Structure 1
Amino acid sequence: MENTFCSGRRWEEMGLDVLVKIFLSLNIIELTSGVSRVCSSWRLACCDPVIWKIIDFGVMKSNYIKIPAPPYIWVADTSDKFVMRTLKIAMGLSRGNCSCLIIPLDLYLKDAQLIYIAERSPHLKQLVLPTWNRITKSGICAAVRNWKELESLTMPSIRDPPYFLDEIARSCKNFTQLKIMGHFDVLFASTIAERLPNLKVLSLRCSLLYKEALDIILDNLEHLKVLNISHSFLVEKPPPPATKRILRQLDESIRVKASRLRIFLTCQDEFCVLCQRMITDDGYLRWYKYEKRLWMKDEV
């Protein structure tokens, strides 16, 4: 009887389109851990723009310790070196093709790391960067100057919003979508109304939200089409000496103003898990206590 055998194709001979589909299933750690160094065809597939359209660092985190003074966290030097190594490989393979960048809550970048990313992602359109503990004013502004095409941003609440929103207004002419995580007061609302009058989408989901700030947004952002205040801790600050009070229901005046919007999302349901958590956390949701990546979800 004649011996027969089946000769299969070698891995390096596999079609690039098949390799790209396989590599799309890998996370950022797997992609930067040596896949591109297997052979020339694997490297070519690793550099395909489709793989790097969205760069999600969600599987990474800083090795940090909370401290009582600013920036309120301390990050180990070994953690910074590992993050920088991963950034260098990822940005090298992406070849400037990244249009969406996602940085998780517990990955604390510093100026040099953020600017390194910015200089190598000139076509970025969406940035998710919810924590700025180690990023300075000059650092975030220097990064934004590289993102002329930026349209959408997720950011934390900051005490001095004018300096940053001024930079967004100067550098990002197509900017229309903003999500703020945390405290949203009158200063923040006034700054948005003045610097970003063409804003179309605003999410204040799970924020401590002042009614006066909400009024400013609804009164002044004529181009706003979508507003999400779901699960927000709505408070009103009456004249002194009275203290702020929680509003359990939306004022009718707010509903009337919001009726012009295409989408107005709200939730103040006593049976809603997120609404209950906002009350438990006194309006400042401790995301680290809950399901991983819950912070990324949004009704918008």
Structure 2
Amino acid sequence: MSSWSSADSAASSSYSSSKEQSENDERQTRNWLDLPGDVTAAILLKLGAVDILSSAQSVCTSWRSICKDPTMWRVIDMQNLGDLHDMPYDLEIMCRHAVDRSRGQLVDINVEYFGTDDLLKYITDSTSHLRRLRLACCYDISDEGLCEVAGKLPLLEELDISIGNITKDALEVIGQNCPNLKSLKFNMEVFISPHIESDDEAFTIARTMPELQHLQLFGNKLTNTGLFAILDSCSHLESLDLRRCFNLNLEGSLGKRCTEQIKDLRRPNDPTNDYPFIATIRDYGSFDEDYPLGISDTDFLSDDDYQYDFYAFSDGSDFSDNVGYYFDADTYY
């Protein structure tokens, strides 16, 4: 009787092992192309615009078809590290193609590091539905360029114009033309010297952006006077980031008011480990002329060559038809 039990046990173990191996083989050979289209689209969206255009859409006909759907391009996130000279493609050309694919449905776009006045105009000419615009580190976007498109952004709710050449003049035009603006990031590259105080941006924000709920002013030159103006006018503020704003003194009544009025307050000396730029304090002495645009007097933020050129398309050509043809010295690949 026991011998039969041993045999049965061995057979059962062998069957289980065989079944497990079969299931493993099935998993290994499962075809990703069998996934429902909406599931595939959700996965592809996590790659970001650059990876979709440069590689994912070329995998197969099915993926290419999904990647051409305008709903895939309602959000265009072209996040990068700013190493533009090391990229084997031109981000501006790529971005224009992505905008074209959105067919006017674009609501959220990030062109950090490579945005220009011309690109910004192209984007705003292509959609009237933008709600989120990220232009951080875009030194080729000027006051004039931003003012020109401000009237085309009536639905804008979030704007990031950190680390660039934008001044209070463009801030004022944005405030006048974007009544739905709820979130603003206007951060600066900053120096510890020379010491300069200015409430120009603070007064502009207070005067033209009363509906703000989230405001980040990392490294700004504002004083207590400017901060009081913001608190008086922007009664809906929930979060306020004042890190590296060393002209402020949040002791006494101002500090108490900030604590009572703001749910999420970041003080001048709070840690900067979650800030997307390097916050190293440096002393650059005094300047003979007015100090550079976008630079304050308390800190300096730095970003933590061979040029590749992406071939421009002829009119009407498809981006993916050109993907893979790059120029590197004498070699095409």
Q: Under a length normalisation based on structure 1, what TM-score does the superposition of the two structures give?
A: 0.69
CA distance in 1 between counterparts of 2:270 and 2:57 reads 51
Quick check: 259-268 or 195-204, which moved more?
259-268
With over 3 angstroms needed to count, the CA separation of the structure-2 counterparts of 1:199 and 1:48, relative to structure 1, is same
- Does residue 47 of structure 1 match 2:39? no
- Identify which of 94, 98, 115 aligns with 1:109: 115
Quick check: 170-179 or 37-46, which moved more?
37-46
Match of 1:161 in 2: 168
Structure 2 counterparts to residues 55-70 of structure 1, below 5 A: 55-59=76-80, 61=82, 63=84
CA distance in 1 between counterparts of 2:62 and 2:166 reads 49
Q: Which has the larger radius of gyration?
A: 2
With over 3 angstroms needed to count, the CA separation of the structure-2 counterparts of 1:96 and 1:281, relative to structure 1, is farther
- Does residue 124 of structure 1 match 2:130? yes
Structure 2 counterparts to residues 255-294 of structure 1, below 5 A: 255-267=255-267, 278=279, 280-281=281-282, 283-289=298-304
1:194 CA drift (Å)? 1.4
Match of 1:73 in 2: none
Structure 2 counterparts to residues 1-300 of structure 1, below 5 A: 15-33=36-54, 35-36=56-57, 41-48=62-69, 51-59=72-80, 61=82, 63=84, 82-104=90-112, 107-156=113-162, 160-162=167-169, 164-182=170-188, 185-229=198-242, 231-235=243-247, 247=249, 250-267=250-267, 278=279, 280-281=281-282, 283-289=298-304
With over 3 angstroms needed to count, the CA separation of the structure-2 counterparts of 1:268 and 1:132, relative to structure 1, is closer
CA distance in 1 between counterparts of 2:69 and 2:185 reads 30
Output the aligned Cα RMSD: 3.5
Matched-pair contact (CA < 8 Å) for 1:98–1:121 = yes
Query: Deviations 1:77-110 (Å, cap 9, x if unpaired)?
Result: x99x822320122112233333222233xx2322
1:43 CA drift (Å)? 3.4
Matched-pair contact (CA < 8 Å) for 2:156–2:180 = yes
With over 3 angstroms needed to count, the CA separation of the structure-2 counterparts of 1:159 and 1:269, relative to structure 1, is closer
The residue matched to 1:32 in structure 2 has which SS? helix
Task: Note the residue ranges of structure 2 that are not aligned, 5 or more in a row.
Answer: 1-25, 191-196, 284-297, 305-333
User: What count of residue pairs does the alignment treat as equivalent?
Assistant: 253
Matched-pair contact (CA < 8 Å) for 2:280–2:302 = no
Letter in 2 for 1:233: C
1:149 CA drift (Å)? 1.1
Matched-pair contact (CA < 8 Å) for 1:204–1:228 = yes
Quick check: 37-46 or 128-137, which moved more?
37-46
The residue matched to 1:202 in structure 2 has which SS? strand
Identity between Structure 1 and Structure 2 (%): 25
1:42 CA drift (Å)? 2.8
1:151 CA drift (Å)? 0.5
Letter in 2 for 1:178: L
1:39 CA drift (Å)? 6.0
CA distance in 1 between counterparts of 2:166 and 2:264 reads 26
Letter in 2 for 1:26: L
Letter in 2 for 1:251: E
Q: Under a length normalisation based on structure 2, what TM-score does the superposition of the two structures give?
A: 0.63
Matched-pair contact (CA < 8 Å) for 1:28–1:59 = no
1:150 CA drift (Å)? 0.5
Letter in 2 for 1:86: M
1:267 CA drift (Å)? 3.8
Query: Deviations 1:6-41 (Å, cap 9, x if unpaired)?
Result: 9x8987765312321331232322211264466664
CA distance in 2 between counterparts of 1:143 and 1:266 reads 32
With over 3 angstroms needed to count, the CA separation of the structure-2 counterparts of 1:141 and 1:40, relative to structure 1, is farther
Matched-pair contact (CA < 8 Å) for 2:220–2:244 = yes
Letter in 1 for 2:153: W
1:153 CA drift (Å)? 0.8
1:273 CA drift (Å)? 5.7
The residue matched to 1:141 in structure 2 has which SS? helix
